[in-house]
Amino acid sequence: MTLAAGRPYVAIPGPTVVPDRVLAAMHRPSPNIYEGELHEMYPGILRDLRAVVGSTTAHVAVYIANGHGAWEAVSSNVFSRGDKALSAITGHFGQTWAVSLRGLGIEVDALDFGRGRSIDPDQIGRALEQDTAHTIRAVLMTHTDTATTVRNDIAAVRAAIDRARHPALLLVDGIASVACEEIRFDQWDVDVLIGASQKGLMMPPGLSFVWFSDKAKDVSEKADLVTPYWNWRTRCFSPEFYRAFAGTAPAQQLYGLREALALITEEGVDAVVARHQTLARAVWAAVDAWGTGGGEIGLNVTDPAARSHAVTSIRIGNGGAARLRRWAEDNAGLTLGIGLGMALPTEPAHHDHLRLAHMGYVNAHMTLGALAVMQAGLLALDIPHGSGAIEQAAAVIADATRR
Ligand SMILES: *Cc1c(COP(=O)(O)O)cnc(C)c1O
């Protein structure tokens, strides 16, 4: 017998669940790419992309690339040869972003805050104050580092840059937070924000998005790393639609994206954020209850204010995380995310973390179902855990509907 037959649920932090409406919207023959509907609908897509990040002013470049590609897109527009970046790292993705910059010949000063703590803005401020010659072109931060599931405070980092009276641009990797967390591009004075289609935006992988400010645009006028393909000025400011993608537009993807953005607009951006926050609290409540059982179960990020609302890293010691992942997929059709960058593959702790995503097109029954499957797995595998986890998670959901 298997209990895994039925609709599988891949609860990993990207690619996330793609709504049927989005799949249906993409299922169409290739349109005319020279004129017509594709051209006419693109301004609406850009308008909705601005709305998702609380902006009325940002320029938006869309790339046929995953998040790693968007990192290079941004670097090539912002940096010149010999430039320096200050990188605030709170996990694997911050580290990898720095690797991407170094590969382009950009010097990176890294401030590493570990695997479970958020960025300390004062340290950013001090590093900038020491840079009296203003050789640092930009400060890099991930909003949510999807590996550790640490969430950082964008406004606080901007305030630290301003206090230091430093002209550095603020570049934010929002790949795991766009359409999941509150983002105020204009209000928080972000210069560059990066997103990707396969996370909160509920699309298949393959598109990425770069929102940028006028200040970033000005810097890009002088940056000398840029190549014609990545150039965001041609993409955003050419009258011909063909240039928006530096070649053939990703036609079917744009139809899907339009539908995904319509789903977000119908629900309301604030309601989307509130849903993610509530589902996250349900997950945290369950894990806290499991953690009272004398076993080795707990949330990776102890400070609730530094936790992602879209994905949660959970520690289950003695290799329990890896065993539970295997069990959930084989026995219940639930795929949980691997632990990423929490320990070296050679260390025993490598098998002690998993991630449960509650990102994008996810509702209460999906998250409660995932938690109940994990509960069953803990029982089946004889992993010591506290009781009452599902009751606690259900209480969070019930409370949220009473308000
Ligand atoms: C997923 C992710 C990336 C990498 O995106 P890819 O599309 O896999 O290249 C980068 N940064 C963050 C924060 C992510 O969550």
| 101 Cα–ligand 1 center, Å | 15
pLDDT band of residue 330 (cuts 50, 70, 90) is very high
% of the chain surpassing 90 pLDDT: 97
| 402 Cα–ligand 1 center, Å | 35
| 56 Cα–ligand 1 center, Å | 25
Judge if 375 and 255 occupy the same domain.
Answer: no
Is pLDDT above 90 for 345?
A: no
Is pLDDT above 90 for 403?
A: no
Q: Ligand 1: which residue has its CA nearest to atom 3?
A: 67
Nearest atom in ligand 1 to the alpha carbon of residue 71 is 10
Q: 21 in a domain, yes or no?
A: no
Nearest atom in ligand 1 to the alpha carbon of residue 66 is 7
Query: Residue range 56-65: average pLDDT?
Result: 96
Q: Which pLDDT tens digit goes with each residue over 32-54? A: 999 999 999 999 999 999 999 99
State both tokens at 196: 């990707």
| 60 Cα–ligand 1 center, Å | 18
Judge if 139 and 236 occupy the same domain.
Answer: yes
Q: 74 in a domain, yes or no?
A: yes
* Chain centre to alpha carbon of residue 254: 20
pLDDT of residue 348: 85
d(CA 233, CA 185): 19
Q: 355 in a domain, yes or no?
A: yes
Q: What residues make up the domain containing 341?
A: 9-16+268-401
| 180 Cα–ligand 1 center, Å | 14
Domain's final residue, options 225, 250, 266: 266
| 395 Cα–ligand 1 center, Å | 32
Judge if 153 and 279 occupy the same domain.
Answer: no
Judge if 347 and 220 occupy the same domain.
Answer: no
Domain's final residue, options 248, 266, 284: 266
| 92 Cα–ligand 1 center, Å | 10
Q: Ligand 1: which residue has its CA nearest to atom 8?
A: 67
Judge if 262 and 272 occupy the same domain.
Answer: no
Is pLDDT above 90 for 383?
A: yes
Q: Is the peptide bond before 15 cis (omega within 30 degrees of 0)?
A: yes
Q: Which pLDDT tens digit goes with each residue over 231-288? A: 999 999 999 999 999 999 999 999 999 999 999 999 999 999 999 999 999 999 999 9
Judge if 76 and 180 occupy the same domain.
Answer: yes
Q: Ligand 1: which residue has its CA nearest to atom 5?
A: 67
Q: Ligand 1: which residue has its CA nearest to atom 12?
A: 175
Q: 26 in a domain, yes or no?
A: no
- As annotated, the binding site includes 355
For a ligand 1 pocket test, name from 154, 175, 180 the mutation site with the most ligand atoms within 8 angstroms of its C-beta.
175
Query: Residue range 374-389: average pLDDT?
Result: 98
Q: Which pLDDT tens digit goes with each residue over 205-224? A: 999 999 999 999 999 999 99
Judge if 153 and 253 occupy the same domain.
Answer: yes
Residues 6+ apart with CB under 8 A from 298: 287, 291, 314, 315
pLDDT of residue 20: 98
Q: Ligand 1: which residue has its CA nearest to atom 15?
A: 176
Neighbour-count burial of 304, counting CB atoms closer than 10 A to its CB (0-12 exposed, 13-18 middle, 19+ buried): exposed
Domain's final residue, options 211, 237, 266: 266
Residue with tokens 């996370």, as numbered in its chain = 199
Nearest atom in ligand 1 to the alpha carbon of residue 176 is 15
Judge if 188 and 281 occupy the same domain.
Answer: no
Judge if 233 and 342 occupy the same domain.
Answer: no
Judge if 311 and 235 occupy the same domain.
Answer: no
Q: 328 in a domain, yes or no?
A: yes
pLDDT of residue 74: 98
Nearest atom in ligand 1 to the alpha carbon of residue 93 is 11
For a ligand 1 pocket test, name from 12, 93, 203 the mutation site with the most ligand atoms within 8 angstroms of its C-beta.
93
For a ligand 1 pocket test, name from 62, 144, 146 the mutation site with the most ligand atoms within 8 angstroms of its C-beta.
146
d(CA 292, CA 387): 8
| 67 Cα–ligand 1 center, Å | 5
pLDDT band of residue 161 (cuts 50, 70, 90) is very high
State both tokens at 149: 């599931």
Pocket of ligand 1 (CB under 6 A): 14, 66-68, 93, 142, 146, 173, 175-176, 196, 205
| Residues linked to residue 315 through DSSP beta bridges, in sequence order | 298, 353
| 337 Cα–ligand 1 center, Å | 14
Q: Ligand 1: which residue has its CA nearest to atom 4?
A: 67
% of the chain surpassing 70 pLDDT: 100
Q: 49 in a domain, yes or no?
A: yes
d(CA 249, CA 385): 51
Nearest atom in ligand 1 to the alpha carbon of residue 70 is 9
pLDDT of residue 344: 87
Q: What does residue 202 show for φ and ψ, rounded to 5 degrees?
A: 65, 25
Judge if 77 and 161 occupy the same domain.
Answer: yes
Q: How many domains does the chain have?
A: 2
Nearest atom in ligand 1 to the alpha carbon of residue 174 is 13
pLDDT of residue 384: 97
Q: Which pLDDT tens digit goes with each residue over 116-129? A: 999 999 999 999 99
Q: Single out the residue of 391, 375, 400 nearest to residue 314, CA to CA.
A: 375
CATH at residue 323: 3.90.1150.10
Angle of CA points 107, 111, 112, to nearest 5°: 120
| 93 Cα–ligand 1 center, Å | 7
- As annotated, the binding site for substrate includes 355
CATH at residue 163: 3.40.640.10
Angle of CA points 283, 373, 387, to nearest 5°: 65
Please answer whether residues 85 and 71 qualify as being in contact, where contact means their C-beta atoms are separated by less than 8 angstroms.
no
Nearest atom in ligand 1 to the alpha carbon of residue 208 is 7
Q: 262 in a domain, yes or no?
A: yes
Q: 122 in a domain, yes or no?
A: yes
Judge if 98 and 237 occupy the same domain.
Answer: yes
